[in-house]
Each structure stands twice: as structure tokens, then as C-alpha cells.
Amino acid sequence: PVGVCGGLRFEGPLCQDGRVTGWHIAWGYERPFPVDMAGFAVSLDLLLAHPTARIDPHAQRGYLESSLLQGLVTVQDLEAKAQDCTKIFVWHTRTEAPKMKQEERLIQEGRPSNPEIET
């Protein structure tokens, strides 16, 4: 997960037993990989095994990550890190207070960010 991302306390995969089971996001549910660029890593071996995988510079907003990952893996192939995605080790930071309007919307919808995950 990525802290202070997408207008939420955090955004990223929901995981169980080392596998991705869903996504904690506020928009773009139809994206094949609704994950922020800061929230994943790719091994060099995987990139070398798929030499045609590329980031599409013309991808629509929110689809850059999917454009690369679709050429490398499926969601079932993803390997959950950060203690089953319950720890945050990367944040979007700015020198201004974060805007959390998406978090407020999810709270109103009864889907708030997990308060057990420290941001």
C-alpha cells in the first residue's frame, strides 16, 4: 500500500495469505491493476523474461501501471509484501496538508480505510 494516496489514508491491495484478494481504492475499479506506481516492484529477471513489456506513455489517466503489469503478470501472480499489505513503507508526500475527500466519501459509504493500518 501507498500512504496518503488517491485522496485516502492509504491505497493499495487487500491481501490474505500472501496473495492479493482485492483493492482498497476510491476510483478506477475497472483498471486491471488499480495500484499506484510507488506501490509495487518488479524483479529484473521478470523484466528480462518479458522483453516486450512496456509502460504505455499514451495510456489514459490511472492506467500507466496496468500497461506495464499486464505485460508481466496476472493479479494471481502478484506477491503480497509488507506483512500481507498491512504495513506502509512508502508515502506520497507534499509540503501541504493532504486532501482526504475520497477518504471522507468512503467513510460515508461504509468502506473506510482499515484503522489498524498505521499511516
Residues 6+ apart with CB under 8 A from 67: 54, 55, 56, 59
Q: Does 94 score more than 80 pLDDT?
A: no
DSSP 55-81: --TTPPTT-HHHHHHTTT--GGG----
User: What pLDDT, on the 0 to 100 scale, is given for residue 80?
Assistant: 93
Tell me whether residue 65 is one of the annotated catalytic residues: yes
Region 28-43: mean pLDDT is: 95
Q: Does 116 score more than 90 pLDDT?
A: no
Of 94 and 113, the structure prediction assigns the larger pLDDT to 113
User: What pLDDT, on the 0 to 100 scale, is given for residue 25?
Assistant: 95
Region 59-64: mean pLDDT is: 95
Q: Does 95 score more than 80 pLDDT?
A: no
Looking only at Cα atoms, what is the longest distance across the chain? 45
Which of the following is catalytic: 65, 96, 104, 118? 65
